[in-house]
Amino acid sequence: MSDDNREDPNAWAPATRLIRGGMARSNYGEISEPIFLTQSFAYDSAEAADRRFSGEEPGFIYARYGNPTVKMFEDRLALLEGAQACRAAASGMAAIHTALVGLLKAGDHLVASRALFGSCRWIIGQLLPRFGVETTFVDGTDLDAWRAAMRPNTRVCFLESPANPLLEIVDVAAVAQIAHAGGARLVVDNAFASPILQKPLTLGADIVIYSATKHIDGQGRVLGGAILGDEALLEESYKDLIRHTGPALSPFSAWVLLKGMETLELRVMRQSETAARLADLAAGHANVRKVLYPGRADHPQHALAMRQMSAGGTILAFDLGARGAAFRFLNALQIVDISNNLADAKSMAVHPSTTTHRSTPEPERLAIGLTEGFVRLSAGLEAYEDLARDVTRALDEAGRDG
């Protein structure tokens, strides 16, 4: 077949992209993606090394700059996201740190929604100000607050939607417009939605970030992260930063993540369906005060969620009224694990205010509505009937006197 007749991978549906995208077979014709556990690469001659380093000749130089297995991961994720380019990182936080530092310098200003993963909050609230970057947190659901926070030196707007842990939804397209009108770029942490349910680049974001540890691995094995966007922007903002600071993803982890991607769509769709059913189950239980799930009509931003996401997602949160009830619920679970991870094949529940959001000061926790009665639940791949029985028993238990 001539090259002209080859299928364009951009015409493939997500399921095909996830299995076929980015595959670079070696001369052995292996079916599974090869793992290149190599730090460096040999050159045919001194002249070849010269050309490789000058950029005249394409090819790998050192695994901190790039590696064939890592590149397969980057190419597959870029194809799925519909992004021109992807840069892998060793964890979601390495990706977020690199993404922000690469766009900012002393004297710049950043605006972020305040409902954020604890470590994102720390980078924005504590770390960046140490280097002379001014930062402002806003209520992400309040577009006037975003507008009011913009300053002449605002270079980056940052948000997470749905946000951890209470599934707040931010209008990505509207914030992208506000950012662009002010000469800033919009960076979106899309970990909760996954690339299956939400495409921030098509909504106007400039950079999308993943913790690949979550849905993309999805089976509790490795850490990973990714930054996606236009090639020119990634090259300009991150090439030197990545080369010289070393957030590189391990080739072994990239290989695990490639395997995870083969089942990503199946898992996300099934886990979303289970999460939706568990949200309804919880909403109908007498010991539950409030359920937060973007796919339910009673979620405060339900209409917006359904505009920018193709399903409600794999995670829900509910309020049991007090810490004692939340702890009784968690301690009564027999199938669902108590764990701070999420988007795993194994269902997991956690009490955010004493774990994942412990480092968020209490007034800020209360500002995002995170009271001590809340539990976050990540729906896994177990049979719904078994999960329903486990969750119902634990909800019953939550109501017993401590």
* Site residues for ligand PLP per CB under 6 A: 91-93, 117, 119-120, 160, 164, 189, 191-192, 211, 213-214, 223, 225
Half-sphere exposure of 286 (CA within 13 A, CB side): 5
CB of 357 to ligand PLP, least distance (A): 11
Closer residue to ligand PLP in complex, CB, 222/281: 222
Q: Measure Cα distances from 344 to 64, 239, 262, 267 in Å.
A: 28, 31, 15, 9
Residue type, 152: P
Closer residue to ligand PLP in complex, CB, 189/372: 189
Sheet with strand 374-378: strands edge to edge: 290-292, 315-319, 374-378, 348-350, 337-338
CB of 332 to ligand PLP, least distance (A): 25
CB of 225 to ligand PLP, least distance (A): 5
Closer residue to ligand PLP in complex, CB, 124/330: 124
- Say which residues have a Cβ less than 8 Å from residue 370's Cβ, sequence separation at least 6: 165, 166, 352, 353, 357, 360
Closer residue to ligand PLP in complex, CB, 211/301: 211
Closer residue to ligand PLP in complex, CB, 89/398: 89
What are the φ/ψ torsions at residue 316 (nearest 5 degrees)?
-135, 165
Listing DSSP states for 121-168 in one string gives HHIIIIIHHHTT-EEEEE-TT-HHHHHHH--TTEEEEEEESSPTTT--
Place of tokens 């402002």: 136
Query: Which runs of consecutive H residues, i.e. helices, occur in 284-313?
Result: 302-308
CB 72 within 8 A of CB 258: yes
Q: What is the DSSP letter of 337?
A: E
CB of 336 to ligand PLP, least distance (A): 18
CB 172 within 8 A of CB 200: yes
CB of 226 to ligand PLP, least distance (A): 10
CB of 4 to ligand PLP, least distance (A): 41
Using Cβ positions, the residue closest to ligand PLP within the complex turns out to be 92
Closer residue to ligand PLP in complex, CB, 182/229: 229
Closer residue to ligand PLP in complex, CB, 12/252: 252
Residue type, 210: Y
Place of tokens 């009784």: 328
Closer residue to ligand PLP in complex, CB, 116/394: 116
CB of 376 to ligand PLP, least distance (A): 10
Residue 210: beta bridge partners? 226
Closer residue to ligand PLP in complex, CB, 91/287: 91
CB 104 within 8 A of CB 289: no
CB of 382 to ligand PLP, least distance (A): 21
CB of 120 to ligand PLP, least distance (A): 6
